[in-house]
Amino acid sequence: MMDDHPITPLDSRIAWECPWYRVRQDRIRLPNGGEGVYNVVEKCDAVWAVPVTPAGEIVLIRNYRYPLREWVWELPSGGVADGLTPLESAQRELAEEAGGTATEWRLLLRASAMNGIGTEYAYLYLATDVVLGQAEPEPTEAMSVHRVSAAEALRRARAGEINDAVSALALLLAEPYLETGKRDEAGDS
C-alpha cells in the first residue's frame, strides 16, 4: 500500500505575497528520502457557473484576460470570497458579471484546477432559470455578456472556442441537463 503522504514538509515560510495570492516555500522530504523545495501558490478557491435561461440558452462572458493579453470566451467565474461559501460566491459572480439570478443551483464538480503548483479547488455549478439584469463588473474587468443556444455552447466547448479550460469542462458536464435538440433529432419520441 502506498504511503498516505509520501512527500512531507520539513519547514515552511512565505516567500512572496500580494493581496490575491501568495507563494509558500516548503522544504520537503522526497519519496526517495532526499530533501527538496516546493513553492506552493496559496490562493482562494474559485467558482464557475453554467447559467441556463428559461429558454434554454447559456450565458457566456467575453472577458479580457490580462495574463494572456487575450479576449476569452468563458463562463461567469471568480474567487471564493472571504466569509462566503463556494455556492454564495458563484451566486455573487453571476450577479456581478451578468446581473443574473437563478432559482436552482446544482454542484456539477469539485476538482483541483492547478494542482501542480497551487492549492486552488474549483467548484463548478449549474444555475437554472436564470434571469439577467444589469451587470456590475469590477473596475479591473473588461467583459460583455452573451446568450447562445445550448447546442452552440457545447459546439464551442468541443471546438476549442471556449478557451478557458474549466469553463469548457463545466459546459460538457452540464450537457445531460441541457436542451440541445438531440432528442428531437433522434426522431420518434
Instruction: Determine, following the binding rule CB under 8 A, whether residue 187 of this chain makes contact with a copy of itself.
Output: no
Residue 14, judged by CB atoms within 10 A of its CB (0-12, 13-18, 19+), counts as exposed
Confirm if 177 and 171 have CB atoms less than 8 A apart: no
Instruction: Determine, following the binding rule CB under 8 A, whether residue 21 of this chain makes contact with a copy of itself.
Output: yes
Minimum CB distance to a copy of itself, residue 157 (Å): 8
Instruction: Determine, following the binding rule CB under 8 A, whether residue 16 of this chain makes contact with a copy of itself.
Output: yes
**How far apart, in Å, are the Cα atoms of 13 and each of 17, 24, 29, 38?**
11, 6, 16, 11
Report which residue type is found at 144: S
Element at 121 (helix H, strand E): strand 121-128
**Positions in 99-158 near a copy of itself (CB under 8 A):** 109-119, 122, 139-142, 144, 158
Residues that bind a copy of itself (CB under 8 A): 2-3, 5-7, 15-16, 18, 20-21, 23, 25-26, 28, 30-32, 34, 36-41, 43, 46, 62, 64-72, 74, 77, 79, 109-119, 122, 139-142, 144, 158, 160, 162-166, 168-169, 172-173
